[in-house]
Amino acid sequence: MLANWIKYGIINAVLGLIVGIFLSLTAIGDGYYVFAVVAPISAFLTGGLFWKILVKNNASKIKVIFTGILTGIISHYITFVLLGIGANICYWSTGNCTDSFGDPPASIFLSLAGAFLLSFFSLLFFGWLTVPYAIVAGLILHRIQKKKDVELMSEG
């Protein structure tokens, strides 16, 4: 049986995949396909980590809601950090992944700072979806787990 933090990470990764595919299909320009790979990874890591740290086994609705808010917001930043790291690995290992002028990607440190600005705009476009989704998903998972706990207690 999967741990709740893994379930929560997977649930958020599904939305990350949907948003990543949507962005890769609708964005103008090249290279947006990477969002279909990086967004679900970011959503899984962020959601799973926050659930594991904040909710653990003693889930309260407040902790679950706060976890959803953090997951829905921070996953955008992590997406752009992973994109920057990936672009640098790609550039230094293959010579590809240059910008539109043929220059190397931003350094890792510049990517960390630039991810704040990029995630701000990302939140404007998709945050209205990712934050409520992460909250509702967490509350549903919390309710399912509470039901299972009650059933186990009544059996035992």
Of 149 and 14, the structure prediction assigns the larger pLDDT to 14
Q: CA-to-CA distance for 98 and 90, rounded, in angstroms?
A: 9
CB 10 within 8 A of CB 45: no
CB 136 within 8 A of CB 47: no
Per-residue pLDDT reduced to its tens digit, 65-104: 999 999 999 999 999 999 999 999 999 999 888 887 889 9
pLDDT at 113 over 90: yes
Q: CA-to-CA distance for 71 and 134, rounded, in angstroms?
A: 7
pTM of the model as a whole: 0.90
Per-residue pLDDT reduced to its tens digit, 19-60: 999 999 999 888 899 999 999 999 999 999 999 999 987 778
Q: What is the mean pLDDT of residues 107-136?
A: 94
Q: CA-to-CA distance for 152 and 99, rounded, in angstroms?
A: 56
Q: What is the mean pLDDT of residues 103-109?
A: 91
Torsion of CA 137, 141, 44, 77, to 10 degrees: 40
Q: CA-to-CA distance for 20 and 23, rounded, in angstroms?
A: 5
Q: CA-to-CA distance for 151 and 129, rounded, in angstroms?
A: 33
Q: Residue written as tokens 């962005």? A: 23
